[in-house]
Structure 1
Amino acid sequence: MLGPTGASGTKTGGRSLTERTPLNLPQGNAICYSGYREGQSPGEQIFPSREEILEDLLILQKNWTLLRLYDCSLHAERVLEVIETEGLPFKVLLGAYLAAELNNFGCPWGGTYTEEQLALNRAENAAELERLIRLAQRYEALVFAVAVGNECTVEWSDHIVAVPQMVAYVQHVKQALRQPVTFCENYVPWITKLAPLVEVLDFISVHTYPVWEYKRIEEAISYTRDNVESVARCYPDKPVIITEAGWATHSNGRGMPLELVSESLQEVYYRALMSWSQEAGILTFVFEAFDEPWKGSPDPMEPEKHWGLFTVDRRPKLVMQGLFGLPS
């Protein structure tokens, strides 16, 4: 966590990152968890069962104590229920997914909606925030913080929400909850347009993906560090964590060159990320636990489907084989 956090000795705005005011967030190994398997999808509302979720969590508890959940769907509700009923040793950063409230005509994968759909989205966003509040209150002992939205202000998003509306949403949630409140976003909008939102947040959550920006593995961790520190320099008194950082293991060559992805490169980046973030004291959620075939295009080599440290059938990839053994 940037506060205290940052590369050792690094100065940001005249202050060492380790001199920032600390926020009382838990520390430990953290990972993004979304448990959708073959034939399951949040869009189609086909959710993992409680038994499947328990299977996943029993795998993850071997190395992680902190989970990030993306929305307040039945999937998230089941995850929280399983953690509580089984007495599993997890704490959760619980997210609310916000749908598009504005058109983004420049989005390359579709960000254009009818006014009727945008109105429906606004109503659903209000309902999602109420679900966030309800779950965070119900599972207050498990939910250590909440995130109001995910990647809905970056220029390429297909679910844009205006920054003033984001401020209002955060203020509404903060009035209802005792947990700290954040927003999860790519590093660029934090630098360019999110200062009004930062004022009402308890901490900043940054996403950084060197491989999406055509960085080779040799420069990847320095690029990640630069991404995070560029945000920290803008807000010297606001804690910063990483809520997504990872490396894909397959690509179809569209948007991500084939030579930049593999299980061996994922392992190199993961090791470097863990070493740097732990030394610097930055709470970092690795993206992600398991491959998710519902994501992206129908192409099975679509890179969006292949960020897991485990395959969709729960076999450890190279990066996890030292801890979990070779896949059977």
Structure 2
Amino acid sequence: MRTLKHISKFIMITLLIVSCEKTPKKKTSSEPSIQKQVTAKDILGNKDYVAISYGGYRTKTRDVQPTIDELKDDMKILHAMGIRVLRTYNVQLPQAANLLKAIRELINEDNKFEMYVMLGAWIDCKYAWTGQTPDHNQESEKNEEEIERAVALANQYPDIIKIIAVGNEAMVKWAASYYVQPGVILKWVNHLQNLKKKGKLDKDLWITSSDNFASWGGGDTIYHVEDLSKLIKAVDFISMHTYPMHDTHYNPVFWGTIDDGKRSSLEKIDFAMQKAKEYAISQYDSVHNYMKSLGVNKPIHIGETGWATYSNGHYGNTGSKATDEYKEAIYYKHMREWTEKAGMSCFYFEAFDEIWKDARNPRGSENHFGLFTIDGKAKYALWNLVDKDVFKGLTRNGNIIVKTYNGNKDSLLLEVQLPPVKAKLVVNH
């Protein structure tokens, strides 16, 4: 009997061990879920991987970082509307690292969830933001640490980070607080490319810089320096910014409409927004032509473009009369249609309003570039998605996703101003 008992006990223990081995272990948030492997080359210019610029800040200061749960809520909203690629701006603050953690958790919770990142590394000149006079011919000592953080994250999340962008509008000379010379960007782009060659970064990780069209040679010849030529040859693609909305004030050669007695008010606005689209395309063409003049043929993607919905300054009703939800919706549609047809990605600026950008002036345009308001209302550009129940069950800050203006288009149109009437409009090419 003792022998039989021992045998029975042995069998039970063996079965228990086998059962435990067959039970799948629960993934931790740091373990990547198995999903299809894609590269930047597969993503960029692919209409199935719609891109957007993202910042999840909800208050007037970036000292208040969005929580992991808040970031996950935002990712669910963006994923529902078809977004698959995000652009971030720096790794100095916790948001980018927390965002990557949030995406990893969502992938582990649902292996059908798919989101990739163009990770921004912020670049400054010496004495930027210090109160001292910026030295645009020297770089900040902090740049090296920023690049190191970006490299560490790229190696920690190779399944999510597909691109690193060195600097954001870091070369354009109107960024007087912090801009650097092209040689600084070139230095760090070459550094990252060398890490790829040494196997210290994924060989398929693409490296770029995200900057204004003029900085890429498409504007004033003051930018046409040797280091820019070398930079264009060093990056894997050009990430170009174009902002017709800002130029409705600064260079309004294209901005306005023609009163020929045949157009309704909305048709006049549609005409003006068509001109805005053509203006953006002309800036792309200028960068493309400069690149070709150097004997280079690389992809160009739109790293940033957008249209604010409110301004109490240059672009509002007392200025160029450019900003409202109706015009934003038209511009958004134009940019998506143009870039998709051209086989380009467009990191549209931006997903959600961020009120820290002009904290002292809540009505300033910088606070109103989002396709969603801070509290999660979908602006006019996305009303059709609300109608389709795309956001059903999703919330932001505890609020369900509803339309702005209570979905009343007539109320929205009451705030839409006609652009100035011009006898003749010209688009610079």
Which bin holds the TM-score, normalised by the shorter protein?
A: 0.7 to 0.9
Following superposition of structure 1 onto structure 2, how do residues 87-126 of structure 1 map, counting pairs within 5 Å?
87=107, 88-101=113-126, 113-114=132-133, 122-126=140-144
Is 1:140 the counterpart of 2:196 in the alignment?
Answer: no
Per-residue deviation at 1:144?
1.1
Following superposition of structure 1 onto structure 2, how do residues 130-169 of structure 1 map, counting pairs within 5 Å?
130-157=148-175, 158-169=177-188
User: CA contact under 8 A between 1:92 and 1:144: conserved in structure 2?
Assistant: yes
Q: Secondary structure at the match of 1:65?
A: strand
Per-residue deviation at 1:141?
0.8
Tell me the equivalent position of 2:273.
Answer: 217
* 2:290 counterpart (229, 234, 254): 234
Per-residue deviation at 1:180?
0.9
Tell me the equivalent position of 1:311.
Answer: 373
User: CA contact under 8 A between 1:252 and 1:258: conserved in structure 2?
Assistant: no
Q: Secondary structure at the match of 1:199?
A: helix
* Matched AA of 2:288: A
- Please report the RMSD computed on the Cα atoms of aligned residues, expressed in angstroms: 2.4
Q: Secondary structure at the match of 2:354?
A: coil
Per-residue deviation at 1:258?
5.4
| Inter-CA distance 101–24: structure 2 relative to 1 (3 Å threshold) | farther
User: CA contact under 8 A between 2:61 and 2:359: conserved in structure 1?
Assistant: no
Is 1:33 the counterpart of 2:54 in the alignment?
Answer: yes
* 1:299 counterpart (343, 361, 364): 361
User: CA contact under 8 A between 2:358 and 2:364: conserved in structure 1?
Assistant: yes
Per-residue deviation at 1:200?
1.2
* 1:48 counterpart (66, 75, 80): 66
* Matched AA of 1:33: Y
Per-residue deviation at 1:25?
3.8
| Bigger Rg, which one | 2
Q: TM-score scaled to structure 2, two decimals?
A: 0.65
Following superposition of structure 1 onto structure 2, how do residues 71-82 of structure 1 map, counting pairs within 5 Å?
71-72=90-91, 73-82=93-102
User: CA contact under 8 A between 2:53 and 2:350: conserved in structure 1?
Assistant: yes
Tell me the equivalent position of 1:4.
Answer: none
Q: How many percent identity over aligned positions?
A: 31
| Inter-CA distance 23–68: structure 2 relative to 1 (3 Å threshold) | same
Tell me the equivalent position of 1:183.
Answer: 209
How many residue pairs get aligned? The number is 297
Per-residue deviation at 1:102?
6.7
Per-residue deviation at 1:184?
0.4
Structure 2: distance between partners of 1:56 and 1:295:
19
Structure 2: distance between partners of 1:182 and 1:25:
15
| Inter-CA distance 82–297: structure 2 relative to 1 (3 Å threshold) | closer
User: CA contact under 8 A between 2:185 and 2:231: conserved in structure 1?
Assistant: yes
Cα-to-partner distance string for 1:288-320 (whole Å, 9 max, x where unaligned): 000010003511111011000000111111111
Cα-to-partner distance string for 1:100-121 (whole Å, 9 max, x where unaligned): 3377xxxxxx8963579x98x7
Structure 1: distance between partners of 2:71 and 2:213:
31
Bigger relative contact order, structure 1 or 2 (CA pairs below 8 A, ≥6 apart): 1
Cα-to-partner distance string for 1:10-55 (whole Å, 9 max, x where unaligned): xxxxxxxxxxxx94444221100100002441xxx32111111011
Structure 1: distance between partners of 2:357 and 2:102:
25
Q: Which ranges in structure 2 are unaligned for 5 or more consecutive residues? A: 1-39, 108-112, 196-200, 218-222, 249-254, 256-271, 388-401, 407-429
Structure 2: distance between partners of 1:196 and 1:167:
7
Tell me the equivalent position of 1:68.
Answer: 87
* 1:277 counterpart (336, 339, 347): 339
Structure 1: distance between partners of 2:84 and 2:315:
33
Tell me the equivalent position of 2:307.
Answer: 247
Cα-to-partner distance string for 1:198-220 (whole Å, 9 max, x where unaligned): 12111100000101001342311
Following superposition of structure 1 onto structure 2, how do residues 3-22 of structure 1 map, counting pairs within 5 Å?
none
* Matched AA of 1:138: Q
* Matched AA of 2:212: N
Structure 1: distance between partners of 2:287 and 2:276:
17
